[in-house]
C-alpha cells in the first residue's frame, strides 16, 4: 500500500491527494492543484492520514496554565 495523505488547502478548502507520507514531515510547502496556493501542512484546516484518520493540524492544543 502506498502511503499518502490528503490535505485541504487553507485558501480554497479543496482536498487533494499527496503520495509519500514523508512529505508531511519534511517541512516543505505543498502546492494546491486547484488554486496554486503554496502552504505548509500545518496550515491545513483538515488533513486525512493514509489510514483514514482525520486531523486538524492548524488547531494548537490549548494550554491551561495558571
Pairwise CA distance, residues 6 & 61, whole Å? 22
pLDDT (0 to 100) of residue 62 = 42
Confidence of residue 60 (pLDDT cuts 50, 70, 90): low
Closest to 6 (Cα-Cα) out of 58, 37, 45, 38: 45
pLDDT (0 to 100) of residue 59 = 67
pLDDT (0 to 100) of residue 32 = 97
Amino acid at each position: 500500500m502506498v502511503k499518502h495523505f490528503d490535505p485541504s488547502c487553507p485558501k480554497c478548502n479543496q482536498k487533494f491527494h499527496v503520495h509519500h507520507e514523508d512529505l508531511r514531515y519534511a517541512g516543505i510547502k505543498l502546492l494546491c492543484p486547484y488554486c496554486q496556493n503554496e502552504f505548509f501542512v500545518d496550515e491545513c484546516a483538515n488533513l486525512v492520514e493514509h489510514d483514514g484518520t482525520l486531523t486538524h493540524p492548524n488547531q494548537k492544543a490549548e494550554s491551561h496554565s495558571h
